[in-house]
Structure 1
Amino acid sequence: MTNVQIYVGTYAKYNSGSIYGAWLKLEDYSDYEELQNAMRNLHKDEEDLEFMFQEYECSEAIESLGLISECHISKNIYEVMGAIENFDYNEEVIEAYICSLGSSENDIQEILEKVSESYFGEYSSDVEFIQELLEETGDLSADLPPYIHIDWERTAYDIMMDYSVHNNHYFRLM
């Protein structure tokens, strides 16, 4: 499971000058309900609980999807973390997709489907990516005479209009 930790305090304590709380690791709880019970138990001295997540540590993907903020933790966070963990590509690829192309999707399955459809791989440069792309698609003949020279920088510039890249992960714009 993706490593997610939250520091759980309450607004009542914060407003009275205390930052009392504790770090909770989501992996220590089987689901959202168990996490909620742990948070309620941590602050059992209060009746009207209003949790405050004063600090949290999570991947860019989790943060970009809006699953955790100062005043909110999504009920779907365990479902999303499970889907990411069981996905064909690692979390770095999903983060790259979300950071590169953004996501207005709330359904993690739709996001993962789009990653699967658009992901081309990890390359060290646009030129390396374009050379391999053209070779794989057959758009570049292996039998080019040695006197033909290709301006790979310009070719990459033109073709990259249809692609997006983040942290060397390449995606086709759909």
Structure 2
Amino acid sequence: MKSLENAPRIYVGTYGMYNSGSLFGKWFDLTDYADAKEFYQNCYEYHRNEFDPELMFQDWENIPEFLISECSLDDKAFDYFQALYEMDDDTAEAFKIYSEQINSWPGNGKVLGDQVESFQESYRGYFGGSMKDAKIEYTYQYIEETGLLADVPATLERYFDYEAFARDLFLEGYTEVDGYVFADY
């Protein structure tokens, strides 16, 4: 999230211009603003040629759908992007998935700090590596970390059904999305 190519940007026009057949507007890079108030002030200043412009977000990049719509940007967006900036790219992607698909932020009513804390407790890592199935890859790590088969003789350990155990593990207790694994608590 730290590179300029991944910067959150919005193309801002107005409904008045759009209804007149014009897509006139400008790309605004959200990293240029400290908060939503400053962003909106700049948007209105840019469209000062209209009397009471109604802003229209015609396109956006690197902004999750849960923070933006055609006519609004969530007030928490700038705090969200600041939190992402403090994370490495893989963790930031995992946090986006967690907030969008696992724990429905900001709709869950949590403040961002609590959302980050619950993410850190839930996130188990990215498992899109050497194995074809992230769930099975995580299961191997889980079994090793918990010592589940530590007391089993090596001759019997090879008969353990990792695929079946992975299926059961992810039926209750864990969720996998695009290789990212989260505990369901």
Q: TM-score, normalised by structure 1?
A: 0.87
| Distance in 2 between residues matched to 1:76 and 1:123, nearest whole Å | 30
| Distance in 1 between residues matched to 2:71 and 2:101, nearest whole Å | 26
Report the alpha carbon displacement of residue 146 of structure 1 after superposing the two structures with TM: 1.2
Q: Percent identity?
A: 32
Structure 1 residue aligned with 2:131: none
5 Å-filtered alignment, 1:12-161, equals: 12-59=16-63, 62-64=64-66, 67-87=67-87, 90-103=91-104, 104-106=107-109, 107-124=111-128, 125-141=134-150, 143-148=152-157, 149-161=159-171
SS of match in other structure, 1:23? strand
87 and 105 in structure 1: CA distance in 2 versus 1, 3 angstrom threshold: farther
| Distance in 1 between residues matched to 2:100 and 2:108, nearest whole Å | 13
| Distance in 2 between residues matched to 1:142 and 1:120, nearest whole Å | 25
**RMSD value over aligned CA atoms?**
2.0
Q: Is the 8 A contact 1:9 1:54 kept in 2?
A: yes
How many residues are aligned here?
170
| Distance in 1 between residues matched to 2:151 and 2:135, nearest whole Å | 20
| Distance in 1 between residues matched to 2:61 and 2:93, nearest whole Å | 16
Report the alpha carbon displacement of residue 26 of structure 1 after superposing the two structures with TM: 0.8
1:165 counterpart letter in structure 2? E
Q: Is the 8 A contact 1:8 1:52 kept in 2?
A: yes
Instruction: Structure 1: state its 5+ residue gaps.
Output: none
SS of match in other structure, 2:13? strand
The correspondence for 2:181, drawn from 144, 162, 170, is 170
140 and 147 in structure 1: CA distance in 2 versus 1, 3 angstrom threshold: closer
Instruction: Structure 2: state its 5+ residue gaps.
Output: 129-133
Q: TM-score, normalised by structure 2?
A: 0.82
Q: Which structure 1 residue ranges, 4+ long, deviate > 4 Å from structure 2? A: none
| Distance in 2 between residues matched to 1:95 and 1:142, nearest whole Å | 39
| Distance in 2 between residues matched to 1:97 and 1:14, nearest whole Å | 35
Q: Is the 8 A contact 1:99 1:166 kept in 2?
A: no
Which range is displaced more, 145-154 or 44-53? 145-154
| Distance in 1 between residues matched to 2:156 and 2:73, nearest whole Å | 61
2:60 counterpart letter in structure 1? Y
SS of match in other structure, 1:72? coil
| Distance in 1 between residues matched to 2:68 and 2:179, nearest whole Å | 26
